Amino acid sequence: MKVTVSRKAHFNAAHRLYRKDWSFDKNDDVFGKCNNPNFHGHNYELIASVRGEIDKETGYVIDMKVLKDIIKSEVEDAFDHKNLNLEVPEFAKLNPTAENIAVIIYNKMKSKLDSNLELEITLYETPRNFVTYSG
Protein backbone atom coordinates (compact mmCIF):
# COMPACT_ATOMS: atom_id res chain seq x y z
CA MET A 1 0.00 0.00 0.00
CA LYS A 2 1.52 3.29 -1.10
CA VAL A 3 0.81 6.53 0.74
CA THR A 4 1.73 10.11 -0.15
CA VAL A 5 2.95 12.53 2.51
CA SER A 6 3.51 16.21 1.77
CA ARG A 7 5.23 19.17 3.31
CA LYS A 8 4.77 22.84 2.48
CA ALA A 9 7.58 25.36 2.42
CA HIS A 10 8.23 28.76 0.97
CA PHE A 11 11.05 30.93 -0.26
CA ASN A 12 11.37 34.42 -1.66
CA ALA A 13 13.51 34.95 -4.73
CA ALA A 14 14.10 37.36 -7.59
CA HIS A 15 14.60 36.47 -11.23
CA ARG A 16 14.47 37.74 -14.77
CA LEU A 17 13.14 35.73 -17.67
CA TYR A 18 15.19 36.34 -20.79
CA ARG A 19 17.53 34.73 -23.28
CA LYS A 20 20.95 36.27 -23.78
CA ASP A 21 20.92 35.24 -27.44
CA TRP A 22 17.70 37.23 -28.15
CA SER A 23 17.29 40.95 -28.61
CA PHE A 24 15.69 42.99 -25.84
CA ASP A 25 12.61 43.47 -28.03
CA LYS A 26 12.18 39.74 -28.64
CA ASN A 27 12.65 39.02 -24.92
CA ASP A 28 10.11 41.73 -24.16
CA ASP A 29 7.61 40.26 -26.64
CA VAL A 30 7.96 36.75 -25.16
CA PHE A 31 8.47 37.43 -21.44
CA GLY A 32 6.81 40.86 -20.98
CA LYS A 33 7.19 42.32 -17.49
CA CYS A 34 9.20 39.27 -16.45
CA ASN A 35 12.00 40.55 -18.72
CA ASN A 36 12.63 43.54 -16.42
CA PRO A 37 16.42 44.10 -16.53
CA ASN A 38 16.28 45.01 -12.82
CA PHE A 39 14.65 41.67 -11.97
CA HIS A 40 11.42 41.07 -10.03
CA GLY A 41 10.51 38.83 -7.12
CA HIS A 42 8.05 36.16 -6.06
CA ASN A 43 6.97 34.61 -2.79
CA TYR A 44 7.20 31.00 -3.94
CA GLU A 45 5.17 28.30 -2.19
CA LEU A 46 6.39 24.72 -2.45
CA ILE A 47 4.62 21.44 -1.80
CA ALA A 48 6.96 18.46 -1.77
CA SER A 49 5.06 15.16 -1.86
CA VAL A 50 6.78 11.84 -1.20
CA ARG A 51 5.04 8.58 -2.08
CA GLY A 52 6.02 5.13 -0.95
CA GLU A 53 5.25 2.11 1.17
CA ILE A 54 4.61 2.59 4.88
CA ASP A 55 7.57 1.25 6.85
CA LYS A 56 6.32 -1.60 9.06
CA GLU A 57 8.62 -0.64 11.93
CA THR A 58 8.18 3.13 12.03
CA GLY A 59 4.79 3.63 10.38
CA TYR A 60 6.36 6.35 8.21
CA VAL A 61 6.71 6.71 4.46
CA ILE A 62 9.47 9.20 5.33
CA ASP A 63 10.25 10.87 8.63
CA MET A 64 8.85 14.40 8.24
CA LYS A 65 11.94 15.77 10.00
CA VAL A 66 14.07 14.22 7.26
CA LEU A 67 11.83 15.74 4.58
CA LYS A 68 11.94 19.11 6.36
CA ASP A 69 15.75 18.99 6.48
CA ILE A 70 16.03 18.08 2.77
CA ILE A 71 13.76 20.99 1.83
CA LYS A 72 15.79 23.33 4.03
CA SER A 73 19.17 22.35 2.62
CA GLU A 74 18.23 21.79 -1.02
CA VAL A 75 15.62 24.54 -1.50
CA GLU A 76 15.37 27.15 1.24
CA ASP A 77 19.10 27.56 1.89
CA ALA A 78 19.83 27.44 -1.85
CA PHE A 79 17.10 29.78 -3.14
CA ASP A 80 15.63 31.94 -0.35
CA HIS A 81 16.34 35.66 -0.70
CA LYS A 82 18.53 35.02 -3.74
CA ASN A 83 18.59 36.37 -7.24
CA LEU A 84 18.13 33.11 -9.11
CA ASN A 85 19.85 34.36 -12.28
CA LEU A 86 22.94 35.67 -10.47
CA GLU A 87 23.33 33.61 -7.29
CA VAL A 88 22.09 30.09 -8.04
CA PRO A 89 24.54 28.07 -10.16
CA GLU A 90 21.81 25.88 -11.70
CA PHE A 91 20.41 28.96 -13.46
CA ALA A 92 23.66 30.34 -14.85
CA LYS A 93 22.62 29.03 -18.28
CA LEU A 94 18.99 28.05 -17.62
CA ASN A 95 16.06 30.48 -17.72
CA PRO A 96 14.55 30.43 -14.18
CA THR A 97 10.93 29.89 -15.23
CA ALA A 98 8.60 28.25 -12.71
CA GLU A 99 8.84 25.09 -14.82
CA ASN A 100 12.64 25.02 -14.69
CA ILE A 101 12.72 25.90 -10.98
CA ALA A 102 10.39 22.97 -10.22
CA VAL A 103 12.58 20.56 -12.21
CA ILE A 104 15.75 21.79 -10.46
CA ILE A 105 14.09 21.41 -7.04
CA TYR A 106 12.93 17.92 -7.98
CA ASN A 107 16.42 16.87 -9.08
CA LYS A 108 18.09 18.31 -5.98
CA MET A 109 15.60 16.67 -3.61
CA LYS A 110 15.27 13.34 -5.45
CA SER A 111 19.01 12.74 -5.11
CA LYS A 112 18.62 12.93 -1.31
CA LEU A 113 15.70 10.47 -1.06
CA ASP A 114 15.80 6.68 -0.91
CA SER A 115 15.46 5.36 -4.46
CA ASN A 116 12.22 3.50 -3.61
CA LEU A 117 10.43 6.79 -2.86
CA GLU A 118 8.57 8.80 -5.52
CA LEU A 119 8.65 12.59 -5.45
CA GLU A 120 6.29 15.23 -6.78
CA ILE A 121 7.00 18.95 -6.63
CA THR A 122 4.27 21.58 -6.85
CA LEU A 123 5.61 25.11 -7.06
CA TYR A 124 3.37 28.15 -6.78
CA GLU A 125 4.88 31.26 -8.35
CA THR A 126 1.71 33.18 -7.48
CA PRO A 127 -1.44 31.99 -5.73
CA ARG A 128 -2.97 31.33 -9.17
CA ASN A 129 0.05 30.18 -11.20
CA PHE A 130 1.74 26.91 -10.34
CA VAL A 131 3.53 23.97 -11.90
CA THR A 132 3.78 20.33 -10.91
CA TYR A 133 6.65 18.00 -11.76
CA SER A 134 7.18 14.36 -10.84
CA GLY A 135 10.06 13.25 -13.01
Which residues are the active-site residues?
Answer: 34, 81, 125
Q: Please choose, from the candidates 112, 133, 131, the residue with its C-alpha nearest in 3D space to the C-alpha of residue 44.
A: 131
Residue 11 contacts residue 80 (beta carbons within 8 Å): yes
Other CB atoms closer than 10 Å to residue 14's CB: what's the count? 18
- Alpha carbon distance 74, 34 (integer Å): 25
∠ CA 89-66-69 to the nearest 5 degrees? 40
